[in-house]
């Protein structure tokens, strides 16, 4: 397995260690990290533990993080360069690294992206350099609903029937941000019309259907109903049929962790290993979260 790489921070390298626990969830997808305070400096040894947990469990939940946007951005940058979302109107004022995910309407306008994650997807798979991972920090949570589901695409690949393996090995698929952009899913949510400039930023890209994780070497399916549009080189009907089988297989119950949000949770998932879905909540209940997104490598 390749060595774990991460970005040491010389300003905190000698900081005092923190005492925290990494508690895996029962089904080997996900873990919670308890006792860590991200408002305090994280030394390189503690950061290495966090990074290893992220690779091992694919989604880690930092409990009770009372941090500022600046602190979220700083911690996110320890993992790499941050990506700025194409919908500039939903970026946090003064902090363009943060995308506001929210169903709240103020003065007749949405303050954030209200229907983010309405279809299964891996963040920014429609970019040449898709996301390494995303961090989502709870600001306001609804009294019901609002769960986020994560599906393990390593497990999906490992359990893929042989006929499907043969159908997709060595093939690539196209990904597009606008694949299902205008489709409604949850009542009361909408998306703004993209400008020509925004459309140019999200032109179609092609990635391998089966990607190799650059840090662990594990193979994973890399398609999703949200952004994948077609299998390159196949007739349209055959492409649709194979993709439908891949989507259904990816989200079998044994592959899924369902996150039920608690106040001040910060959830960090690996977009190279998982796809995720927002389960939605009643539109009259306020929900607001802050997302940072870390740039990854070109899939191979």
pLDDT computed for residue 195 by the predictor: 67
Helix-then-strand count for the chain, H and E: 6, 18
CA dist 192 and 112 (Å) reads 11
pLDDT in tens, 93-124: 999 999 999 999 998 888 998 867 788 999 99
Q: How far is CA 161 from CA 112, 203, 256, in A?
A: 40, 32, 18
At 169, list the tokens: 């090995």
Element (H, E) at 156: helix 153-158
Residue (of 114, 81, 74) closest to 95 by Cα position:
74
Residue (of 9, 288, 282) closest to 143 by Cα position:
282
pLDDT band at 4 (very low <50, low <70, confident <90, very high): very low
DSSP lists the bridge partners of residue 210 as 221
179 pLDDT more than 70: no
CA dist 38 and 124 (Å) reads 26
Residues labelled as active-site residues: 121, 123, 276, 291
């Amino acid at each position: 397995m390749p060595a774990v790489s991460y970005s040491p921070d010389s300003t905190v390298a000698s900081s005092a260690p923190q005492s925290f626990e990494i508690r895996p969830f029962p089904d080997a997808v996900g873990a919670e990290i308890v006792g860590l305070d991200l408002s305090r400096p994280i030394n390189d040894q503690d950061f290495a533990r966090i990074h290893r947990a992220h690779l091992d469990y694919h989604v880690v939940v930092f409990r009770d993080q009372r941090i500022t946007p600046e602190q979220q951005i700083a911690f996110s940058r320890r993992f790499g360069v941050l990506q700025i979302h194409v919908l500039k109107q939903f970026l946090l004022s003064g902090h363009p690294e943060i995308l506001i995910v929210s169903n709240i309407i103020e003065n007749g306008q949405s303050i954030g992206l209200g229907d983010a994650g309405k279809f299964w997807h891996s963040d920014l798979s429609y970019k040449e350099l898709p996301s390494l991972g995303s961090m989502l920090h709870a600001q306001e949570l609804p009294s019901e609903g609002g769960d986020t589901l994560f599906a393990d695409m390593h497990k999906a690949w490992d359990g893929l029937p042989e006929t499907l393996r043969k159908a997709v090995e060595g093939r690539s698929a196209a990904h597009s941000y606008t694949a299902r952009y205008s489709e409604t899913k949850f009542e009361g949510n909408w998306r703004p019309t993209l400008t020509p400039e925004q459309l140019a930023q999200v032109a179609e890209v092609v990635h391998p259907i089966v990607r190799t994780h650059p840090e662990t070497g594990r193979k994973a399916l890399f398609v999703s109903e949200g952004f994948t549009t077609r299998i390159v080189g196949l007739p349209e009907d055959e492409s649709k049929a194979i993709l439908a089988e891949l989507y259904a297989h990816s989200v079998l119950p044994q592959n899924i962790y369902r996150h039920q949000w608690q106040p001040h949770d910060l959830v960090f998932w690996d977009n190279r290993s998982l796809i995720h879905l927002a389960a939605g909540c009643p539109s009259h209940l306020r929900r607001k979260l802050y997302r940072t997104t870390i740039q990854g490598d070109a899939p191979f």
